[in-house]
């Protein structure tokens, strides 16, 4: 789980998105995004899929199951 959390933050920063921008996109609070990044709050599978699409990576990469970003 920790790898996924690190990847969310890493990819968000690579895209130059703030936690606020990501929160606005998903219509959640900034604290929810922070909790996603710290692994305190699980993401809905639809949000997880959307996040992978936003960052242009596979869900397997985002989840920490693969080291290659794309399928």
Residue 70 placed within a domain: no
Give Cα 6 to chain centroid, integer Å.
9
Which residue segment(s) compose the domain that 12 sits in? 2-62
* 3-class DSSP state of 65: coil
Arithmetic mean of pLDDT, 14-33: 96
Residue 67 placed within a domain: no
Which CATH number belongs to the domain containing residue 13 in this structure? 1.10.260.40
Residue 22 placed within a domain: yes
Residue 71 placed within a domain: no
Residue 10 placed within a domain: yes
Please write the tens of the pLDDT for every residue from 28-51: 999 999 999 988 988 899 999 999
Residues 6+ apart with CB under 8 A from 50: 26
What's the domain count of the chain?
A: 1
Distance CA(60)–CA(64), nearest Å, equals 6
Per-residue pLDDT band at 70 (split at 50, 70, 90):
confident
For residues 30 and 20, the answer to whether their CB atoms sit within 8 Å is yes
């Amino acid at each position: 789980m920790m790898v996924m959390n690190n990847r969310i933050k890493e990819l968000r920063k690579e895209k130059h998105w703030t936690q606020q921008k990501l929160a606005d996109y998903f219509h959640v609070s900034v604290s929810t995004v922070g909790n996603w990044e710290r692994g305190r709050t699980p993401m809905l599978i639809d949000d997880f899929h959307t996040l992978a699409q936003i960052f242009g990576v596979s869900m397997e990469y985002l989840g920490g199951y693969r080291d290659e970003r794309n399928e």
